[in-house]
Amino acid sequence: MSSRALPIALIILSAGCLVAVWHMWALAPAEPPPDAVAISPAPPVAATAPEGGDAQATPPATPAPVFCPVPTRYAGQVVSNRVKGFPDKLLALTFDDGPSTTVTPRILETLREHGARATFFQLGSAIAANRDITRRVFAEGHAVANHSYSHPSSASEESAASELERTATLIRECTGHEPELFRPPYGITKGNLQRAALSRGYVGILWTISAADTDRRATAETIATNVIHTPNPGDIVLMHDSAGHGDTAEALPRILEELGAAGFRFVTVPELLDAWDKWLEADGGPDSRSTPPG
Ligand SMILES: [Zn+2]
């Protein structure tokens, strides 16, 4: 190559690279980002304080959004039991009826401090008033799920569809993802809401442990005790983060600390379902066990 040809060749090469880079950028999917769709491993567990009590020395990891798709076999099914015999000490904490400005941020802070993830079954009416909090819930690695718009105990077919769709639209706007999980208000599984949700492919998620934090006599102490004394690996825990549930926020650090010290890790419901199925597959199938949906 002559001395004049070399710079010309470099210019052509550089232009080609720029075109290639532009092409990659233009073709890259804007939504969702690649690292948001990966099924990530369970979060780092910071629930056990380092030896020597110098927990202050290690700041909690920066939380990040995680979107773990629900295994497809659960679509249109109801989960109301854990998998019997599931050995991994995973718990799915769930918070209903939020987001609220008073309780949800306290809960998020505690979850962050302990490297814990959870699932929030939110009301459309509450999201509409607190969109920033729903955005924060998702941005900090938690799952956002549909709990209807206005928490009715019953609904006509038409209003059931509206309750689901209005809430789904708000969740989609705040998280960029279609909600996949639904929990019927009051756990009522026989009504139009649950039927409409299942027919749309939602997974109906009930719970296997209740913190009983809606009991009028509940205190932070009783709420913590209700959760700490009963879990088995794979349990789904019912709690609330609507206004007035300050006791739940107060109970959460003790729950995370004591169960974390007992070896439990806190994951979202989709992560739990995924872990159940991986275990069932690896262990030779469901023959000898009752398997959800159940
Ligand atoms: Zn509720």
Structure tokens belonging to residue 213: 């934090």
Residue 67 is assigned to a structural domain of this protein: no
Residue 15 is assigned to a structural domain of this protein: no
CATH number reported for the structural domain that contains residue 264 in this entry = 3.20.20.370
**114 catalytic, yes or no?**
no
Query: What does residue 128 show for φ and ψ, rounded to 5 degrees?
Result: -55, -30
* Catalytic-labelled residue, pool 114, 142, 151, 240: 240
Residue 26 is assigned to a structural domain of this protein: no
* Catalytic-labelled residue, pool 96, 97, 235, 247: 96
Structural domain of residue 242, as residue ranges? 76-282
**229 catalytic, yes or no?**
no
Structure tokens belonging to residue 62: 């920066």
Single out the residue of 201, 184, 202 nearest to residue 193, CA to CA: 184
How far, in Å, from the CA of 200 to the mean position of ligand 1?
A: 20
How far, in Å, from the CA of 12 to the mean position of ligand 1?
A: 63
Residue 99 is assigned to a structural domain of this protein: yes
Residue 154 is assigned to a structural domain of this protein: yes
Number of domains in the chain: 1
- pLDDT tens for the chain, 294 residues long, are 444 544 444 444 344 333 333 333 333 333 333 333 333 333 333 333 333 334 455 666 667 888 888 999 999 999 999 998 999 999 999 999 999 999 999 999 999 999 999 999 999 999 999 999 999 999 999 999 999 999 999 999 999 999 999 999 999 999 999 999 999 999 999 999 999 999 999 999 999 999 999 999 999 999 999 999 989 999 999 999 999 999 999 999 999 999 999 999 999 999 999 999 999 988 755 554 555 554
How far, in Å, from the CA of 38 to the mean position of ligand 1?
A: 30
First to last CA, the chain: 73
Residue 224 is assigned to a structural domain of this protein: yes
How far, in Å, from the CA of 131 to the mean position of ligand 1?
A: 18
How far, in Å, from the CA of 34 to the mean position of ligand 1?
A: 33
How far, in Å, from the CA of 148 to the mean position of ligand 1?
A: 9
Q: Yes or no: say if 107 and 223 are a contact pair by the CB < 8 Å rule.
A: no
Residue 259 is assigned to a structural domain of this protein: yes
Report DSSP letters for the chain, one per residue: --TTHHHHHHHHHHHHHHHHHHHHHHHS-SSS-HHHHS-PPPPP---SPPGGG-GGGSPPPPP-----PPPGGGTT-EE-SPPTT--S-EEEEEEES---TTTHHHHHHHHHHTT---EEEE-HHHHHH-HHHHHHHHHTT-EEEE--SS--S---HHHHHHHHHHHHHHHHHHHSS---EE--GGG--SSHHHHHHHHTTPEEE--SEE--TTSTT--HHHHHHHHHTS--TT-EEEEE-STT-HHHHHHHHHHHHHHHHTT-EE--HHHHHHHHHHHHHHTT-STTS--S--
pTM over 0.85: no
Residue 204 is assigned to a structural domain of this protein: yes
